[in-house]
Every structure is written in C-alpha cells, then in structure tokens.
Amino acid sequence: MPAIVVVGAQWGDEGKGKVADILAEHADVVVRYQGGANAGHTLVVGDEKTVLHLIPCGVLHPGTVCVIGNGVVVDPYALLEEIDALRKRGYLEDDSLLKISDRAHLTMPYHRAIDQARERLRGEGLIGTTGRGIGPTYEDKMARIGIRFADLLDAGAFADALRRTLEEKNAYLRNILKEQALDYDRIRDDYERLRERLAPHVIDASVYLDRALAAGRRVLFEGAQGTMLDVDHGTYPYVTSSNTLAGAACGGGGIAPNRITGVIGITKAYTTRVGSGPFPTELIDDLGRKLREDGEEYGATTGRPRRCGWFDAVVGRHAVRLNGLNGLAITKLDVLTGLKRLKVCVAYKHEGQRLEDFPASLSALNVLEPIYEELPGWEEPISRARSLEDLPANARRYIACLEELTGTPSIMISVGARREDTIILRNAFTM
C-alpha cells in the first residue's frame, strides 16, 4: 500500500506538475491535499501544454483516479472550467475518475471580492495574493462559518448557511472595504446549478482512500505550494493560507500518518519566488533576468514574473527537516547551461554570526547576507541526457553538491520541460 507525498522544497513553482505527472504513471490514485485555484501546475506532454489548478496531475493518465481532498478550498466555477477544458481534449470522460471530498470547503464569490479589495487597500504592503479568494475561504473554515460540499448537496442547509454568512460579509464589504454588496438570490441560484453538475463527484474521500490503500493501490499525494509558503514554517506573513508540508497530506487527505511510505521534495537547480517577501539569494541584475527568460519563469496561474536567484541550501535543509524528505527531484538543471560559474548558498551571515538554519525573523531575513560557494559551470546542452553519465562532469558535480548540502539523494533530474526530458534514478514507489 505505497503512499507517496510530493512536496515543493522552495517557494512553490518548483515543477511539481511535471514531477507529479511522471510519478502518476505508477499511481492508481492521485490526491490533491491543500491549496486552491491559486496554484498552477504545468505539464508538457509531447508538444501539448496543460495547466492544472485544482485537478490532480494524474488526470493525463488513463484510468487514474483523481481526488480533491478535504484540505483543498474549491472554487466551483474554476473547477468546472477546468473539467470542461479537459473533456474537450478527451480526458475525464468518466465521472468516476474525479472525486471531491464532501468535507472540502467552497470558495464563494464574497471570498474573491474580499481578497481583491484587501490587496488593493494594502498598497505597497501587499502580500502578493492571486486574488482568488483562497485566504478568506480558509479564514471562514477556521472561524467555523465555512460552507462545505456536504452543505452544497443539501439545498436547505446551503440556503441557510449562505444567508447567515452573506449578511456578515456584505456588512464587511460595504462598511470596511467600501465595496458593493453581493446579491443573495443570484449566488443561491448559481450554486443550485453548480450543485447539479458537481454532485456526482462528491464522496467521503477519507473512506475511499482508506479502502484504496487497504486494497494495495498506489496513492500519490500532491500539494499546491512549496515549503517556504507554509503558513507556520514559511516566510510569514508572505505565505499562503494553509499548511503546505508533507504532513498536511494526512489532515488534508484524511489518512493516518503511518500510511505515508515516502516523501519526495521538488527543488529547482536554482531558486525562484513569486510575489512579495524575503528572498536571501535573489539576483536583481542581468543574471537574474537571464534565469527568468531562459527558465520561462512566469506564473502559470497569473503570468506574474518570478524573482530568480541562486540555489539556497539553507532553504533546502529547512525543507528536508520539516518534510522528512527521502529524495529530491531536481528540476530545470538545463537552465544553468552556459553559465561559467555557479553559486550555491551554504549558510547566512547575520550580525557577525553564521546561520545554518532558516530564521523566523523578518527583520533578520531582510538584512542577512548569503554565504556562497562557487562551482564551475558547463557549456554542453543537456536536454537529451537520460542518465547521469550523459551529463557533463561539472553538471554531475553540481548535483552531488546539492545532495551533500541538503543531506538528501536525488531520485529524478529534469533537463527540459517535456515529460521525457527527465533522468529517472529511482522509482519513488519502490524506494
């Protein structure tokens, strides 16, 4: 009953879509366990690009069951748009291949309105939210006023919950955020139609996964954002609104901790982040811009340019410890081709002291200096490499350095955007 978790080991956008897609070939079930439609996983199969926001990456593999877990907050409009687009291309023709937890919370129109209005009011102090209503949905979940799929299936319960909540939200929108109120009847009627389409997919996902694992089926759990965006252990407050770590797969999928048999961390060969917040190794020069252009570093959901910098081993060790990583999937190694010298951050310097671990203090993060080691680069193209032996010696040396600094072996190395542009060292399901 192997259950593998794949988790981002940086600030998200590490290439989880591609890695999860490759691992999904060996999985029977793929589960999304946190986040919402603010995430974008990009998959390239042949010459066809697919961007997923809510549906797990197993959707491109025939017969693989995709489960949206209770830890995900679901915008039903975004979900149906995604379903329709996939069905036009021949995917998800069988309703049984997509299952939604009846305990997953719904992102409502007022969540999006509040999210966008708040970000406008923050001005220069903005968090960098996508404006998709993710944070406000999680707020309502924790405040115990959220609306779940179980409520959506009960017309009376949904109408009552919407009426109570909308009164409060409209007062907040009008009086605090200076925005227009939303219409109760319109939202209720719209969600009535959404109910008809989504009801066939709604199940008790926890029970389903328990039975699947008991039957020996291989289950892959994927998160939406990276370790450094975790609401507790990331660069707070410049984080997402949920726990992104591997441990969140238990609560967000509805399985026990002892069901997890392995955890794979995905990391770029360099580092990127989208939006505001600390980024110790950021390159705000021509080299940073070169990495952005060569790596096509633009958000899959928003199109926002990503900030780029050198690989940060302090962040890497932080991710290894918090997630219990068994292996690394290193992505975008090919983007470094052509650079004569490469730098890797091995520690930080702050007020004369060497820091080996990632600090919580924003004030420290804003002034500390990265301590770098330099390695030689390589000129040879590597996109056709399919084994370590196919890589230039300096590329192999660079990989070995990342493994040593993080204390974690690599199991997969991506040398291009396509599914086949990958060196597979070990199968995560047989580790």
pTM here is 0.92
End-to-end CA distance of the chain: 13
> How many other CB atoms are found less than 10 A from the CB of residue 350?
16
Q: Which of 39-53, 76-90, 345-359: highest mean pLDDT?
A: 345-359
What CA–CA distance (Å, rounded) separates 150 from 158?
9
* pLDDT score of 60: 87
Task: Indicate the residue type of 46.
Answer: G
Pick the CATH number of 3-101+203-263 from 3.40.440.10, 3.30.1380.20, 3.30.470.20, 3.40.50.720: 3.40.440.10
What CA–CA distance (Å, rounded) separates 427 from 158?
45
Average of pLDDT values for 36-57? 77
65-68 and 271-273 beta bridge pairing? unpaired
Q: Which of 244, 238, 285 is nearest to 266 (CA)?
A: 244
What single string gives the DSSP state of each residue in 376-416?
E---S--TT--SGGGS-HHHHHHHHHHHHHHT--EEEEE-S
Categorize the per-residue pLDDT at 131 as very low, low, confident or very high, splitting at 50, 70 and 90.
Answer: confident
Q: Which of 144, 186, 145 is nearest to 169 (CA)?
A: 145
Average of pLDDT values for 128-156? 91
Categorize the per-residue pLDDT at 337 as very low, low, confident or very high, splitting at 50, 70 and 90.
Answer: very high
Asked if residue 303 has pLDDT above 80, the reply is no
* pLDDT score of 376: 98
Q: pLDDT tens digit string along 159-218?
A: 999 999 999 999 999 999 999 999 999 999 999 999 999 999 999 999 999 999 999 999
Categorize the per-residue pLDDT at 120 as very low, low, confident or very high, splitting at 50, 70 and 90.
Answer: confident
Higher pLDDT, 21 or 131: 21
* pLDDT score of 125: 56
Average of pLDDT values for 265-269? 97
Topology (CATH level 3) of domain 268-430: Adenylosuccinate Synthetase; Chain A, domain 3 (3.90.170)
* pLDDT score of 430: 76
Asked if residue 101 has pLDDT above 90, the reply is yes
* pLDDT score of 124: 61
What residue ranges of the chain are covered by domains with CATH 3.90.170.10? 268-430
Higher pLDDT, 298 or 127: 298
β-pair partners for 7: 265
Q: Which of 66, 38, 85 is nearest to 300 (CA)?
A: 38
* pLDDT score of 51: 80
* pLDDT score of 15: 87
CA 111 from centre of chain? 20
Categorize the per-residue pLDDT at 395 as very low, low, confident or very high, splitting at 50, 70 and 90.
Answer: very high
Categorize the per-residue pLDDT at 38 as very low, low, confident or very high, splitting at 50, 70 and 90.
Answer: confident
Cβ neighbors of 196 (< 8 A, separation 6 or more) are none
* pLDDT score of 37: 86
User: Do residues 71 and 251 make contact, with C-beta atoms less than 8 angstroms apart?
Assistant: yes
> How many other CB atoms are found less than 10 A from the CB of residue 118?
17
Which of 28-32, 54-58, 160-164, 268-272 bottoms out in mean pLDDT, i.e. has the lowest? Answer: 54-58
User: Do residues 307 and 285 make contact, with C-beta atoms less than 8 angstroms apart?
Assistant: no
- Residue-averaged pLDDT of the chain: 93
What CA–CA distance (Å, rounded) separates 82 from 413?
29
Average of pLDDT values for 385-403? 97
* pLDDT score of 301: 62
Asked if residue 126 has pLDDT above 60, the reply is no
Average of pLDDT values for 2-26? 91
Asked if residue 1 has pLDDT above 90, the reply is no
Asked if residue 397 has pLDDT above 60, the reply is yes
Q: In the structure encoding, which two tokens stand for residue 319, read together?
A: 């991710």
User: CATH for 105-198?
Assistant: 1.10.300.10
Asked if residue 298 has pLDDT above 90, the reply is no
Average of pLDDT values for 400-409? 98
* pLDDT score of 16: 85
* pLDDT score of 276: 87
> Which residues are identified as catalytic?
13, 41
Categorize the per-residue pLDDT at 128 as very low, low, confident or very high, splitting at 50, 70 and 90.
Answer: low
Asked if residue 46 has pLDDT above 70, the reply is no
Asked if residue 326 has pLDDT above 70, the reply is yes
What CA–CA distance (Å, rounded) separates 14 from 225?
9
* pLDDT score of 39: 66
* pLDDT score of 53: 87
Q: In the structure encoding, which two tokens stand for residue 384, read together?
A: 């056709």
Q: In the structure encoding, which two tokens stand for residue 412, read together?
A: 């997969």
* pLDDT score of 20: 86
What CA–CA distance (Å, rounded) separates 113 from 77?
15
User: Do residues 102 and 205 make contact, with C-beta atoms less than 8 angstroms apart?
Assistant: yes
Q: Residue 54 in 3-state DSSP?
A: coil
Q: In the structure encoding, which two tokens stand for residue 394, read together?
A: 């300096």
* pLDDT score of 365: 95
Q: In the structure encoding, which two tokens stand for residue 13, read together?
A: 């956008």
CA distances to 5, 80, 96, 313 from 74, rounded to whole Å, are 21, 10, 18, 34
What residue ranges of the chain are covered by domains with CATH 1.10.300.10? 105-198
Which of 110-119, 243-252, 373-382 bottoms out in mean pLDDT, i.e. has the lowest? Answer: 110-119
